Amino acid sequence: MRLPDGGWSSTVEGAQLVESGWARPLAAGREQVRRAAPLVRTVGDQDLARDEAARAARLPSLAWQAVREGLRHGPVLVQVPRRGYVPRMACAACRAPARCRHCSGPLEARDGGALWCGWCGREEGAWHCPECGGFRLRAQVVGARRTAEELGRAFPAVPVRTSGREQVLDTVPGTPALVVSTPGAEPVAEGGYAAALLLDGWAMVGRPDLRAGEDALRRWIAAASLVRPQGDGGTVVVVAEPTLRPVQALVRWDPVGHAVRELSERAELGFPPVSRMAAVTGTGEAVAAFLGSVELPPEAEVLGPVPLPVTPAGRPRRPGAPPPGEQWERALVRVPPGRGPPWPPRSRRRRPRGWRGGVRPHAVVRLHGGCGLTRWCGFTGWCGLAG
């Protein structure tokens, strides 16, 4: 018996299962979708003609109009992709990112206006820009708490509720209120939300990730599904470039079509899920020793290795990144799905005590499109997770 895999959105893997015949699609008809879905609006040419600054504004006039109209009939949901107050700051003169003097981490503003490092946690009381010498700062990215504060000043008679990592709300009453939430923490409103704002779409779509568009559409649809149907006055305003594919899929409420098109393009490029990829990262000697000793399937394709950017001295080391000042390389190994050998014995999947080729540090093998786990290469056989 096969269990159904359902949701508001559709993944590329789901589209692949349907295309292969392993699964069958169960989707509502277009007429039913139109009756149940809210009206989704973006900043179009007509809005730009009335408000020339609408494209660059974080809250264009269309968003303010939707909030005012929605508050007349019930609660309004505001989705903000970043938590905190102002998680990223920059110089007001030259726009250079504001960084900590001790570890070069990003400076963020917390409640009360104090500057803190997002990496080492030190307070910065006398910041100045090393590029131009300026002392003034501007918000580069605005978080959920700052958004709630700005909306509270704009609508002083309306209660403002926040839902995020510190406190996740399950439900909210159906009375007029502003509910500011990070993705995934949106509470359910009694009777549905009258309107929803999806802010800072660039922060979600512009991530350097293969799934950036897919994840953005999934989070947008999850929030929009909490809004009342269009027939009951439900409206969703997404503040993002209207020509982007995830935005257009949201306007049409067509996540399946978006997933099918993504699958087609990834098939042309050989990207997951039509292939399995592993990234081998380490020093040049370690990567070369691994590629020279590993038993790859005949269909395997090795891309690279290529040098990685050197982490500047003084910055903390992130997981999977090279130590500060060291030059590492990365190679990609690509195989078709199901072409890898069976899983290796249990003893060969454990982290080894030493590198068999005599090269240290170990090269890190990170799998993409498979299990997503990280393994240390110390065995000479193909790990099998990529097959």
Query: Which residues make Cβ contacts (< 8 Å) with residue 192, sequence separation at least 6?
Result: 74, 174, 226, 227, 228, 229, 232, 234
Between helix 245-252 and helix 212-224 the angle, nearest 10°, is 30
pLDDT at 379: 30
Residue 3 pLDDT: 53
Q: Are 275 and 370 in contact (CB under 8 A)?
A: no
Distance CA 148, CA 161 (A): 8
- The per-residue pLDDT for 45 is 52
Q: For position 368, what pLDDT does the model report?
A: 44
Tell me, what's the pLDDT at 315? 61
| pLDDT for the residue numbered 313 | 66
Structure tokens at 202: 């660039």
Report yes or no: 192 and 85 within 8 Å, Cβ to Cβ: no
Under-50 pLDDT residues of the chain: 1, 49, 341-364, 366-387
* 330's tokens: 């990365």
